[in-house]
Amino acid sequence: MLNEKPATIGVMTSGGDSPGMNPCIRAVVRTASANNVQVLGIMDGYEGLINAEFRPLGVRDVGGILQRGGTILQTQRSLRFHEKRYQREAIRNMNSAGMDGLIVIGGEGSLKGAHALAEQDVRVVAVPASIDNDIWGTNMAIGVDTAMNTIMEAVDKLRDTASSHSRAFLIETMGRGCGYLAVMAGIVCGAEMVLIPEVPVTVEEVAKAVDEAYMRGKKHCIIIVAEGASVKVSDLAKALDDMDVGFTTRVTILGHIQRGGSPTAFERMLASRLGIKAAEALLAGESDVMVGLHGRDIELVSLADVTAKSRQASMLYYEMARMLAR
Amino acid sequence: MLNEKPATIGVMTSGGDSPGMNPCIRAVVRTASANNVQVLGIMDGYEGLINAEFRPLGVRDVGGILQRGGTILQTQRSLRFHEKRYQREAIRNMNSAGMDGLIVIGGEGSLKGAHALAEQDVRVVAVPASIDNDIWGTNMAIGVDTAMNTIMEAVDKLRDTASSHSRAFLIETMGRGCGYLAVMAGIVCGAEMVLIPEVPVTVEEVAKAVDEAYMRGKKHCIIIVAEGASVKVSDLAKALDDMDVGFTTRVTILGHIQRGGSPTAFERMLASRLGIKAAEALLAGESDVMVGLHGRDIELVSLADVTAKSRQASMLYYEMARMLAR
Amino acid sequence: MLNEKPATIGVMTSGGDSPGMNPCIRAVVRTASANNVQVLGIMDGYEGLINAEFRPLGVRDVGGILQRGGTILQTQRSLRFHEKRYQREAIRNMNSAGMDGLIVIGGEGSLKGAHALAEQDVRVVAVPASIDNDIWGTNMAIGVDTAMNTIMEAVDKLRDTASSHSRAFLIETMGRGCGYLAVMAGIVCGAEMVLIPEVPVTVEEVAKAVDEAYMRGKKHCIIIVAEGASVKVSDLAKALDDMDVGFTTRVTILGHIQRGGSPTAFERMLASRLGIKAAEALLAGESDVMVGLHGRDIELVSLADVTAKSRQASMLYYEMARMLAR
Amino acid sequence: MLNEKPATIGVMTSGGDSPGMNPCIRAVVRTASANNVQVLGIMDGYEGLINAEFRPLGVRDVGGILQRGGTILQTQRSLRFHEKRYQREAIRNMNSAGMDGLIVIGGEGSLKGAHALAEQDVRVVAVPASIDNDIWGTNMAIGVDTAMNTIMEAVDKLRDTASSHSRAFLIETMGRGCGYLAVMAGIVCGAEMVLIPEVPVTVEEVAKAVDEAYMRGKKHCIIIVAEGASVKVSDLAKALDDMDVGFTTRVTILGHIQRGGSPTAFERMLASRLGIKAAEALLAGESDVMVGLHGRDIELVSLADVTAKSRQASMLYYEMARMLAR
C-alpha cells in the first residue's frame, strides 16, 4: 500500500543530461515545499543512490537555476545499477535517509531503473528527459525544444554563408535510434534532405539526389543526418567529393552542443509542469508511473508501458519536411 | 457553392506583425504549388486588397524567408476596410485578379475582416497570428513562442545584474486585454509578481507586497506588468520610490522588440503546420473557418465563433506562477 | 615605499555592475596564484571593505564564472565610503586581514575611492568597468562591448517589425553624461538619429527632422536616445504624436538589461587582459594607477589623472553615424 | 598617375565569405554616395569581374543589410583569375563599364589578385576579410570577432553539459595555417588546451596531458583544435578512447557555422570604418594599398607588403591561454 503522504522525497537526474532538468528540479522542490514535504537531492543519478550521496534541497537552493543548462544534481550513467544487489543497496540507502518516494528525471535507461525500483515497492514517479524525444508516452520530453533551437540556430548560420555558390552542407544531429530531432530540424531549418534511422538509404541514393538538386539549379543543399542514419556523414562527404556532384561538401558535427544552452521558454514551461505533476502524483500516492505531455495536458502513464515500447519519428512529419523543401 | 478547386488563391498578413508570419506564407505557397495552384501575395493587408497590390508568389520567392522576422508581404491596419464599400472594392479586385480564395494571417481585427468577407461569399480561411495569444479557438497563435523567448532572454539579463542588492525590476510586456504573455513570462522567468488585466490590483497593494518581499529578505524583486494591467509601470515605479520600500526601482519597457526576432523552432513548426492546413482547407472547399492548434492537432473552427469570443489568461497558470515564485 | 611583493591581495567589484567583471576577477585570481599570492574577495564593494566581508578566492573558486554576467563578489554603491572615518575603518580591516594591496574593478565613483585609498598609502590598482564607457584613460571599459551587442540585438528585432509601414521607434539607452554607447549603437544599428548629452537639441528640432524623414519617403525611423540627452524619450514620443508627423511612435526603454548578459568574446578578452595586468602591476609594486586599453596595448595611467578628467563621445563617430544613415 | 577623382568605382567580395562583408559594402556605397561617386557591385568576386556581372548599388540598395551575414554580392573562388589573360579580360570589362577604381573585400588570395591588378595600373584598394585573422597588416580582419563569438557560444553550451562527469570535449575550429582563432577562443572559452599549427605536438603528448588532467582531478577537459594543427581531431579522439584516459571523448566540428551569423557590434563598427577608409583612400587617388586596423586607427599598408608576409598566432596569447587555464 502506497497511500500515506510522504514526508521526505528524493529527486535525481539520470542518464544523458538535457536542458530543462534544472527548472524541473526547481518545480519538484517548490511543489513539495508548498505541501510541507522535504526534498533530498540525489547526486550523480543512480550512482548517488547506491553511494548515498544526498543533500537537502530547500526553496532557496533552487533559486536562480531556472535559466541554467545542465543539472545541479549532476548526472552519470550507472552500469552496476542493472544488478539487483546494487538496487537493494540503493533501496537500503533510501530507507535509512527516510526517503518515502523518489522522482527520477531521465531517459529510457533511467526509466527502466525507475520501473525496477517500483517493482520492489519503492514509490517512484518518473519524468521523461531526452533531447532525442525517443520516449514513448509523452509528446515531448525535456530537452527537445532547446536542442531543436540549438540545431536551428546553427543551420541558420550555414544559410548565411550558403549564399555563396554550390555548397552541400552535411549536419550531423543526435538521434541513434530515433530520427525525431532530425526530421523536426529538417522542417524548421528548411533542409533539402533528412536522413534518419527509420528510413534506410544508401550513399549512392543520396549522392544521386544531391546531383539531381544541383542539375535542377539549386544553389546549395542542406542535409541533416541523424547520428543513427544508415548513411554516415563522413562516408557521405567522401562519396560526394569522389562523385564530383558539382557541390563542394562541408561537414558540421554538432555533438554535445545539442545538450547545452539555457532552456527555452517552452522548455521551462514543460519542465515546470512535469515537475509539479510528478511531485503531486508522488504525494498523492501514485507509483510506477511517468508524467507525460498529451496534447495540452500532463497525464500519467504506466512505467511498464513506457519501458516496453519505443518511439520513432513520425512519417507524417517526414513527408511534411519533403513537401516543404520543394 | 464553394466546392470547386481554386486555381489561384491570395495570401495576406494583416494587423500587428508577429514572428512566424513568413514561415506561414512559405507553407501556404509550397502547399498550393504542390497542388498546382497559383498564389498571389497581397501587400499591406486589407489596404493592399482595396488597392489591388498583388504579386505572384512562386516556390522560389519564399526561399530563405523561414528565418526572417516580420513579413515579406508587409502589414498595415486598415480602418476603412470596416466600411462595406471598401470591402466591395476588395472583392471586385479579387475577382478581376481571378482569385478564387483567400488566406488571411492576422489577429482579432483581421479575423473579423475575414469573417466579413466570408459572409459576402468570398472563400476565406484564416490563420491566427498575435503575440498576445488573445485569439479564441487556438491553444497558440503565431508569434507567441518567439515573443515569450524574447521577454525571457531580456529578464534573464536582468537576473544577472540583480545579483547586486536590493533592486525591484518592473518589466512591461505586451497584452492590452489579455495577460497570457505576462503570466507565461512570469513562470518561465521566475518572476516574483505578475500584474495582468484579468486581476485588477491597486498600486498600494503591489507596493505592500514588494515591501513584504523586502522584509522577508528577498534580494531582488522581478515584476512583470502587462500593458493593460490596472497598475501602470510608471505609476508603480513612482509609488515604490516614494514609499521607499527598500528596493531601488528600475524600469524596462520592451515595446515592439517583442514583435521581432527570428522565429523559434516551435514557431516555425506551428506556422508551417497552420499554413499547410489553411491551404489544404481552402483547396478542399472550406470557408469562414480558422485553423487552430488543439492539443497536438490542427483543427478547423468557425470564424463566427472565433470573432464572437475572446480569450483570457488562464487562472491556473496565474496560480502556478505564484506557487513557483515562493 | 611600496616595493615588497605582497603575499595577499584583495579584489572587489564596485558601483554599477557590468558584464565582464567575472572574467576579470578570474584573471586576477589566476595571475596571483601563478605568482604564489593569495587573494581575498571583498563582497559588496566598499561596503564589504568597511564591514570586513572577505572570503578567500582560490583557482577553483573562479572556475566556471567566465561566461556569467554580473559579479560573484556582488556590488553596491557606498555613500559612507566618501567619509574619511569609513575609509580608515576599511584600511584597518585590510591590515588586520593581512591584505598588502587591493584591486578595484569599477566605474568613475569607484576609481575616486581607489585614489582616496592610494593617497592614504594603500597599494591599489584599479580596473575600469562601466558600460557607459565614460572613463578617461582607456579606449574601452569592461562592459561596453557586451552592452553594445545587447542594444544592437534589441534594435535588430525592431528592424524586423519596422518592415511594416510608418513607425518611429525611440530607444532609450544608458549614458547619463556620456553619449558614447548611444553613438556607437547608432552606427552599428543603422539608426536614423542619435540624441546624446554632448549635443543638445530641442524636441521641436527632432520632431522636424522626423517629419522631414517621413516626407523624404523613409518607411521607418529609428532614434537612439541616451538617458542624459536634452530631450527625454517620453516628451519626444508625446510631441511626435501631437504633431502627427506621419509615423506612429513606439517606445522601448532598455533599462538594466544593458548591464546583463553573458560577456562577449571581446569582453572576456579585454577583462582577462586588464585583470592580468592589474595583478602584475600590483605585484610589481605599482599603486595609484589604473590599467587601460591603449590601441592594442594595456598600459598604466595615473589615477589622479583618471579621476580629474572625464570622457565624452567622439564627435568623429557622431558624424560617422550621420553619414552612414543617409 | 592615379590622382583624378573617380566618378564610378566597383566593389566586390571575394574568397571565403565572412560576417561583416555586408556592413563594409554598405559603408563603401554610402561614402561614395556622399562624394557623388557611383558604385557598381561586382557579383561573385573575380569571376564576376571576368564575366562583367555588374550592378549599380545605390544608397537604398544597401539598406537593411547591416545585420545580415554572408554577402549580398556573393563570393566565389576564381582559379582562372591567376592567369594573365583573365586578368586582362577583367580590366577590359572595368574599362568598358567606366570603372575608375576597385575595392576588393577578401582574404589572402583575394589580396594577391588585387595586387596583381594594381601592378597593371588598375586603381585598387583592398579590405582584409578572413575569419582566420591570418592577414598581415591589420590587427583584426572582418569576420574574426563574429567567428570568435560563434565558437564561444558553442563551447559555453558544452560547459553546461560538462557539469556531468569525466568528459573530454574536442572542438575543431577553422585555421589551416594560423592558430589565431583557436588561441583566442581558448582564452575566451577557458579551454584546458589549445592545439595550433604553429606549435606541433604528437597525439601521444596530448593524450598524456589529458590523462594528467584527469589524474589531477579535473572533471572535464575542453580542447580546442585548429583545423591545421599537427594532431587531427578524429585521430585524437580515437587515441584517447584507446588509451582509456578516464574521460569519455566527445567531438564537435563547427565547420562553416563559423562563417555565418549576424555580425557583432564590433564587427559592424570595424567593417564600417574599413569600408569608409577604403572608399576615401580610393577617391583620394590611393592604390595598391590595404586598409588595416592599427591600434585604434585605420591606416593604409602597401599591398606588396601584405601579400609578401604572413601572420601567425601570437605566442604571448598562447601562453596567456595556458596561464588562465590553470
* Paired sense of beta strands C38-42 and C8-14, if any: parallel
* Paired sense of beta strands B54-56 and B38-42, if any: antiparallel
For residue B53, pLDDT beyond 80: yes
- Among A112, A122, A137, A132, which residue's Cα sits nearest to residue A290? A137
**Residue in B closest to C146 by C-alpha:** B157
Whose cell is 534580494? That residue is: B219
Pick the catalytic residue: C17, C100, C132, C145? Answer: C132
Quote the mean pLDDT of chain A: 93
CA atoms within 13 A on the CB side of A260: 19
Quote the mean pLDDT of chain B: 93
Q: What pTM does this model have? A: 0.96
Residues B116 and B151 in one domain: no
Number of helices (H), then strands (E), belonging to chain D: the values are 11, 11
List residues of B whose CB lies inside 8 A of any A CB.
Answer: 26-27, 30-31, 33-34, 59, 63-64, 66-67, 139, 145, 148-149, 151-152, 156, 159, 184-185, 187-190, 262, 264-266, 268-269, 272-273, 276, 294-297, 320, 323-324, 326
Cα B99-B105-B110 angle, rounded to 5 deg: 95
According to the model, what pLDDT value does residue A3 have? 52
At A5-26, the pLDDT tens digits run 669 999 999 988 999 999 999 9
How far apart are the CA of D35 and the nearest CA of chain A, in angstroms?
31
Mean pLDDT of C215-240: 91
Report how many Cβ contacts below 8 Å link chain C to chain D: 101
Collapse the DSSP code of B135 into the 3-class scheme (helix H, G, I; strand E, B; otherwise coil) and give the result. Answer: coil
Is C325 part of a structural domain of the chain?
A: no
Residues D136 and D172 in one domain: no
Residues A136 and A272 in one domain: yes
For residue B287, pLDDT beyond 90: yes
The per-residue b/e assignment along A94-111, b for 16 or more CB within 10 angstroms, e otherwise, is: beeeebbbbbbbbbbbbb
At A102-158, the pLDDT tens digits run 999 999 999 999 999 999 999 999 999 999 999 999 999 999 999 999 999 999 999
CB contact under 8 A, D184 and C269: yes
Residues A55 and A111 in one domain: yes
**Which of C150, C161, C253 is closest, CB to CB, to B69?**
C161
The pLDDT > 90 percentage for chain B reads 84
For residue D213, pLDDT beyond 80: yes
Quote the mean pLDDT of chain D: 93
CB contact under 8 A, C256 and B257: no
Domain span holding position C154: 145-259
d(CA D174, CA D224): 10
d(CA A238, CA A252): 14
Provide, as residue numbers in chain C, all residues whose Cβ is less than 8 Å from the Cβ of D324. 26-27, 30, 272, 276
CATH no. for residue B248?
A: 3.40.50.460
Question: Which of the 8 DSSP states describes residue A261?
Answer: S
Q: Answer whether D13's CB lies under 8 Å from D19's CB.
A: no
According to the model, what pLDDT value does residue D215 have? 85
For residue B216, pLDDT beyond 90: no
C121 carries an active-site annotation: no
According to the model, what pLDDT value does residue D2 have? 46
List residues of A whose CB lies inside 8 A of any D CB.
Answer: 17, 19, 44, 68-71, 74-76, 150, 154, 156-165, 167, 169, 250-257, 259-261
- Among D194, D197, D191, which residue's Cα sits nearest to residue D178? D197
Reported as a pLDDT band with limits 50, 70 and 90, residue C172 is: very high
Is A318 part of a structural domain of the chain?
A: no
How far apart are the CA of A123 and the nearest CA of chain D, in angstroms?
26
Active-site residue list of B: 132
According to the model, what pLDDT value does residue B165 have? 63
Is D314 part of a structural domain of the chain?
A: no
For residue A316, pLDDT beyond 70: yes
At B130-184, the pLDDT tens digits run 999 999 999 999 999 999 999 999 999 998 776 666 789 999 999 999 999 999 9
According to the model, what pLDDT value does residue B162 have? 66
- Among C273, C307, C323, C309, which residue's Cα sits nearest to residue C293? C273
Residues D246 and D268 in one domain: no
Residues B139 and B286 in one domain: yes
Residues C216 and C268 in one domain: no
According to the model, what pLDDT value does residue C187 have? 97
**DSSP codes joined into one string, C32-53:** HHHTT-EEEEETTTHHHHHTT-
**Which of A156, A190, A326 is closest, CB to CB, to B262?**
A156
For residue A87, pLDDT beyond 90: yes
According to the model, what pLDDT value does residue C253 have? 97
Collapse the DSSP code of A128 into the 3-class scheme (helix H, G, I; strand E, B; otherwise coil) and give the result. Answer: strand
According to the model, what pLDDT value does residue A1 have? 38
According to the model, what pLDDT value does residue D220 have? 84
Grid coordinates given for D204: 601521444
Reported as a pLDDT band with limits 50, 70 and 90, residue C286 is: very high
According to the model, what pLDDT value does residue B3 have? 52
d(CA B295, CA B292): 10
Mutate which: D24, D181, D184, D188, vs C, most C CBs within 10 A: D188
Strand-pairing partners, residue C294, are C297
Q: Answer whether D10's CB lies under 8 Å from D72's CB.
A: no
Whose cell is 517548490? That residue is: A30
Provide, as residue numbers in chain B, all residues whose Cβ is less than 8 Å from the Cβ of C164. 17, 70-71, 74-76
Provide, as residue numbers in chain D, all residues whose Cβ is less than 8 Å from the Cβ of C269. 184, 187-188
Collapse the DSSP code of C246 into the 3-class scheme (helix H, G, I; strand E, B; otherwise coil) and give the result. Answer: coil
**Residue in B closest to A152 by C-alpha:** B265
According to the model, what pLDDT value does residue C98 have? 96
Grid coordinates given for C268: 572576456
**Which of D250, D255, D260 is closest, CB to CB, to A160?**
D260
ipTM of the complex: 0.95
**Residue in A closest to B146 by C-alpha:** A265
Q: What are phi and psi of D197, to 5 degrees?
A: -60, -35
From residue C72, give the alpha-carbon distance in Å to each of A10, A304, B173: 30, 46, 29
**Residue in A closest to D159 by C-alpha:** A260
Packed helices C21-34 and C265-283: angle between N→C axes, nearest 10 degrees = 40
Which has the minimum average pLDDT: A96-110, A233-247, B93-107?
Answer: A233-247
Provide, as residue numbers in chain A, all residues whose Cβ is less than 8 Å from the Cβ of D251. 253, 255
According to the model, what pLDDT value does residue C326 have? 76
Is B3 part of a structural domain of the chain?
A: no
CB atoms within 10 A of CB C53: 16
Helices in chain C by DSSP H: which ranges? 21-34, 46-50, 84-96, 108-119, 144-161, 180-189, 203-215, 233-243, 265-283, 303-308, 315-324
Mean pLDDT of A199-209: 93
Residues D71 and D34 in one domain: yes
CB contact under 8 A, A296 and B139: yes
CB contact under 8 A, A323 and B159: no
The pLDDT > 70 percentage for chain D reads 97
List residues of A whose CB lies inside 8 A of any B CB.
Answer: 26-27, 30-31, 33-34, 59, 63-64, 66-67, 139, 145, 148-149, 151-152, 156, 159, 184-185, 187-190, 262, 264-266, 268-269, 272-273, 276, 294-297, 320, 323-324, 326
Reported as a pLDDT band with limits 50, 70 and 90, residue A4 is: low
Question: Which of the 8 DSSP states describes residue C129?
Answer: B
Strand-pairing partners, residue C297, are C294
- Among A149, A210, A154, which residue's Cα sits nearest to residue A181? A149
CB atoms within 10 A of CB D92: 12
CATH no. for residue D70?
A: 3.40.50.450
CB contact under 8 A, A323 and B31: yes
Residues D132 and D18 in one domain: yes
Mean pLDDT of C36-60: 96
d(CA B157, CA B260): 18
CB atoms within 10 A of CB B246: 16
Reported as a pLDDT band with limits 50, 70 and 90, residue C306 is: very high
Q: What are phi and psi of C194, to 5 degrees?
A: -135, 125
Is D152 part of a structural domain of the chain?
A: yes
> What's C182-216 look like in SS3?
HHHHHHHHCCCEEECCCCCCCHHHHHHHHHHHHHC
Q: Answer whether B100's CB lies under 8 Å from B7's CB.
A: yes
Whose cell is 478564387? That residue is: B100
For residue D159, pLDDT beyond 80: yes
How far apart are the CA of A18 and the nearest CA of chain D, in angstroms?
8
d(CA C190, CA C203): 21
Mean pLDDT of D159-184: 87
Phi-psi bin for D101: left (phi > 0), alpha (psi -120 to 50), beta?
beta
Residues B90 and B114 in one domain: yes
Grid coordinates given for C83: 567619509
At C7-45, the pLDDT tens digits run 999 999 998 899 999 999 999 999 999 999 999 999 999
Residues B34 and B139 in one domain: yes
Mean pLDDT of B55-74: 93
d(CA A168, CA A185): 17
For residue A305, pLDDT beyond 80: yes
Domain count, chain B: 2
Is B322 part of a structural domain of the chain?
A: no
From residue C280, give the alpha-carbon distance in Å to each of C34, C275, D230: 10, 9, 33
For residue A2, pLDDT beyond 50: no
d(CA D254, CA D169): 13
From residue B213, give the alpha-carbon distance in Å to each of B166, B251, C113, D148: 11, 18, 32, 42
For residue D1, pLDDT beyond 60: no
According to the model, what pLDDT value does residue B166 have? 76
According to the model, what pLDDT value does residue B1 have? 38
Reported as a pLDDT band with limits 50, 70 and 90, residue C1 is: very low
Helices in A137-263 by DSSP H: which ranges? 144-161, 180-189, 203-215, 233-243
Is A322 part of a structural domain of the chain?
A: no
According to the model, what pLDDT value does residue B254 have? 96
Q: What's the distance, CA B235 to chain centroid?
A: 27
Residues A32 and A124 in one domain: yes
At D228-261, the pLDDT tens digits run 999 999 999 999 989 888 888 999 999 999 999 9
For residue C68, pLDDT beyond 50: yes
At A280-299, the pLDDT tens digits run 999 999 999 999 999 999 99
List residues of D whose CB lies inside 8 A of any A CB.
Answer: 17, 19, 44, 68-72, 74-76, 150, 154, 156-165, 167, 169, 250-257, 259-262
Collapse the DSSP code of B178 into the 3-class scheme (helix H, G, I; strand E, B; otherwise coil) and give the result. Answer: coil
CB atoms within 10 A of CB A119: 13
For residue A133, give the amino acid letter. Answer: N
Pick the catalytic residue: D17, D132, D134, D288? Answer: D132
Mean pLDDT of B254-259: 95
Pick the catalytic residue: A17, A44, A100, A132? Answer: A132
